[in-house]
Structure 1
Amino acid sequence: MADTPADLYRTTRLIRRFEERAVELVHKGVIVGGIHPYIGQEAIAAGVCAALRPTDIITSTHRGHGHVLAKGADPAKMLAELAGRSTGLNKGRGGSMHAADFSLGIFGANAIVGANGAITVGAAWAARRKAGGNGENTVGVSFFGDGAVSQGVLLEAMNLAALWKVPVLFVCENNGYATTLTVEDAVAGTITGRGAAFGMPATTVDGMDPQAVLDAAREAVDRARAGNGPSLIECLTYRYDAHHTWEHKARVRYRDNDEVAQARNTDPVEIQAARISPVERAEIDARIETVLDEAVAFAVSSPHPDPAGALDYLYATGMRARSGGGW
C-alpha cells in the first residue's frame, strides 16, 4: 500500500473527517442506531494498512471504519453502508459493525469482542495452504482492543498461529478503556505478555504516530511473509470521542475533560501533518472534503433495501431461505 508521509497523512485525515461526518449523520438521524467513533486512533489503521499488499487480509472490530477505509474501501459505499442503503458495501445489511469487502481483503468487522482473531488465523492459514504452504503470499491482520485480550477465542487463535507459524499480525489498539472499564482494572500482567507467552515477538509502540505504527507493522509483516509466524503489536492510543455515540445523549462520566484535552496534544492528524508541507496539506484536505461531500450526497440519496429481499444473501451458495416457515 502507499506509505509516503503524504500518503499516511491522507489516510489519517480521511479517517478523521469520515468519522466526524458520520457522527453528524448520526445526530441527523441518517445513520440509525449510532456508531463507535474511531476519532483519535487513526494512526493505527493508517500505519498498519500501509504495510500491507492489496491481497493481504484484515479483520476488524465494532470500531472498524478506519481499518476498512485504510485498506482501500470506497468512502461513499462505506457511508451508504452505515446509513443502511442498498448501495452500501454490503447492500445495507452489514451496517457499522459488520462492513466487509472481500475484493480488498477486508474479511469483515465483528461486533463480538475478540472474535475476529480466529477468523484471521483461519483465513491466513487457508491462503497459505492454497499457495502450496509457502506462506509468502498473504498476511492476515487482526485488529482488536484492550478489552479483547482476556477473551478465550483470541488467546486460542494466538496459540494456534504460533504453533503453526501462521502469517498473522495481531494488533491491539489499547485506548485505555473497554467501554468505561480502565485497562488497569481489567488486564492482569501485560498485553505484550500474552504474545510472549506463545513465543511470538511482541512490542509496544506509540499508536498516535502513523510512522511509528508503520515501522513496527512493516517489520512484523515482513517476518510473517517470510514464513516466520505471527507477531503482536500493542499500540498505545486514545479515543477522543465516546465509546458509542449513545454517550452524546447519556453523558456517561468515566474520564474527565482534562484527560481528553491532554490526549489531544498528541493528535495523530497533526503529528503526520507536520511531516508534509502546508501547501500539500491544504491540497489533501480540500480533496478529502470533496470526496466526503460526494460520499454524503451518495449515501443520503441512495435507496433503502427492498424488504422483499430480506432473505437474500444468507448463504454463500446463493440458496434463498423460504419465507413463511419451512425450508
Structure 2
Amino acid sequence: MFKMPEKERAIGMYKKMCEIRQYEETIYYLFLEGIMPGTIHQSHGQEACAVGMIYDLRKEDYILTTHRPAGHDLAKGVSLRSMMCEMFGKAEGCCKGKGGAMHTGDISVGAVTANAIVGGNLPIAAGVALRCKMLKTDNVAVCFFGDGASNEGSFHEALNAAAVWKLPVVYVCENNLYSATTSIKMTCNLENVAADRGLAYGIPSEVVDGNDVLAINEAAERAIERARKGEGPTILELKTYRIGGHSRNDACGYRTEEEEKEWFSRDPIASFRARLLNEGVASEEELQKIEEEIQAQIDAEVEYAQNAPDPEPESALREVYWEGGIA
C-alpha cells in the first residue's frame, strides 16, 4: 500500500476524482432525460488514472486524450463551466460548442483538444513533445490511450519515433480490458498490451494498479521526471475497469456478473475515501461537505449552461480548414 500524502494533497486528489465522477454522473442523467444533445463516452471507474497522472503536471505541460476525455480535461484544469457549456453546444463552450463530448479541451491550460480517432492522438503527442524538445523547454506531453489503440499502426509509428528521438512524452495506456465491447482476450496475446510492446522499441515501462491514485501518482512522477531530464519516453499501463459501458447506449451484456462484482468492489473513489477515513486524514462530515459542494457547483454550471447564448450561425464558417487555409 502506497503511503498517504499530507492532508491538503490527499484531499486535493479526492476532490478532483469526485468532481470528475459527479460531473459525468450529472451529464449521464441529462442525456437520459433528453435534456442534453449528442452522445457520451464516460470514464466512470477510471478517475484515478486521470488524477494520478495529471495532478503534478505544470500548466505549461500538455495532455492529449481520446473520445473519453472529460476526466483528463477536468484534471488538467479545463473549467467546469466551459465543459458544461460545450456539452450543451453553447458559444461559451471550451470549443465554442463545435466539439461536443468527444472533442473537449483548452490549450490555455495545456489540454490539447481531444481526438476521437482510436490511436489518433499518439503521433500528435510525439509532435507536441518534439516541439517541446526543439524549443529547449523541459515541458512534457502525457498521452492517454486505450488497450485497443495499441493494435493500431499509429501506436507503433509514434512509439518508434518517440524512442529514436528521445522525446519528452509519457504514453499512458488505460487498460480497461475491453476495446469498445470486445474483450482484450480476443484482441491480444500479451498480458500487458502496451508495456510489453514498448520493449520492442527500447522504451521503459511500468504496469500499475489503475484504481490506486497514489500508485499511479508515484509512477507518474518517475516517468515525468525522466521526460524532463531528456531521457525519453515511458509507457505506463494502468490496469483499470469501466463501471459503465463503452458509450451511453451500451448495456454491457458481454461482461459477466462475477467480473463486474470483482472490479466494482475496487472502485477507486470508494477505496480512497475509505483510506482517508481509516487513516484519520478526514472525517465523514468533511468528505460529505466536499461532495455536496462539488455537486452544488455542478448543478449551478448546468443551469448556467442551459441559459447561456447559442453560437451565432455564421460561427459555423469560422475556424474551419479549406483549400486556401483557415477561415
Fold similarity call, TM over 0.5: yes
**Contact residue 85 and residue 305 of structure 1 kept, 8 A:** yes
Task: Report the Cα distance in structure 2 between the residues aligned to 1:310 and 1:108, rounded to whole angstroms.
Answer: 18
Letter in 1 for 2:286: E
Report deviation, 1:252.
Answer: 5.3
Change (3 A) 1:215 1:320: closer
Deviating 4+ runs (over 6 angstroms)? none
**Unaligned runs of at least 5 residues, structure 1:** 322-327
Q: Structure 1 residues 109, 320: closer, same or farther in 2, change over 3 A?
A: closer
Per-residue displacement from partner, 1:134-167 (whole Å, max 9, x unpaired)? x5x2100110001100111121111111111100
Q: Secondary structure at the match of 1:22?
A: helix
Q: Is the 8 A contact 1:8 1:272 kept in 2?
A: no
Amino acid paired to 2:122: G
> Contact between 2:132 and 2:168, CA under 8 Å: does it hold in 1?
no
Please state how far the C-alpha of 1:262 moved relative to its aligned partner: 2.2
Find the aligned partners of 1:95 and 1:257 in 2 and give their Cα distance. 32
Match of 2:142 in 1: 141
Is the deviation greater in 7-16 or in 281-290?
Answer: 281-290
Partner of 2:64: 59
Q: What is the identity, as a one-letter code, of the residue corresponding to 2:126?
A: V
Matching residue of 1:18: 23
Quote how far apart the aligned CAs of 1:14 are: 0.7
1:101 to 106, 116, 131: 106
Distance 1:49 1:59 in 2: 11
Residue 3 (structure 2) aligns with: none
CA deviations over 1:249-275 (Å, ceiling 9, x no partner): xx4521133322221111111122122
| One-letter code aligned to 2:56 | A
Query: Does residue 306 in structure 1 map to residue 321 in structure 2?
Result: no
Distance 1:269 1:235 in 2: 16
The answer on 1:157 being equivalent to 2:158 is: yes
Query: What is the aligned counterpart of 2:126 among 116, 121, 124?
Result: 121
AA matched with 2:245: A
Give the match for residue 287 of structure 1.
293
Residue 255 in structure 1 maps to residue 258 in structure 2: no
Report the alpha carbon displacement of residue 176 of structure 1 after superposing the two structures with TM.
Answer: 0.5
**TM-score, scaled relative to structure 2:** 0.91
State the partner residue of 1:207.
210
> How far has the Cα of 1:123 moved from its partner?
0.8
* 1:111-141: CA deviation from partner (whole Å, max 9, x where unpaired): 100110111110111122123xxx5x21001
Q: Note if 1:242 corresponds to 2:254.
A: no
Question: How much has 1:320 moved relative to structure 2?
Answer: 6.1
Q: How many residues align?
A: 312
Identity of aligned residues (%): 38
> Who is 2:38 aligned against?
33
Does 2:55 match 1:50?
yes
1:233 aligns with 2:236: yes
Counterparts in 2 of 1:252 and 1:16: CA distance versus 1, 3 Å? closer
Cα offset for 1:17? 0.4
| 1:198 maps to which of 198, 201, 212 | 201
Q: CA offsets per residue over residues 175-224 of structure 1, 9 Å max, x none?
A: 00011111111013232111111111111100001111101111100111
Structure 2: which 5+ runs fail to align?
1-5
Q: CA RMSD in A?
A: 1.8
Report the counterpart of residue 80 of structure 1 in structure 2. 85
2:44, 2:20 → 1: CA distance? Answer: 8
Letter in 1 for 2:34: G
- Any idea what SS the aligned residue of 1:143 has? strand
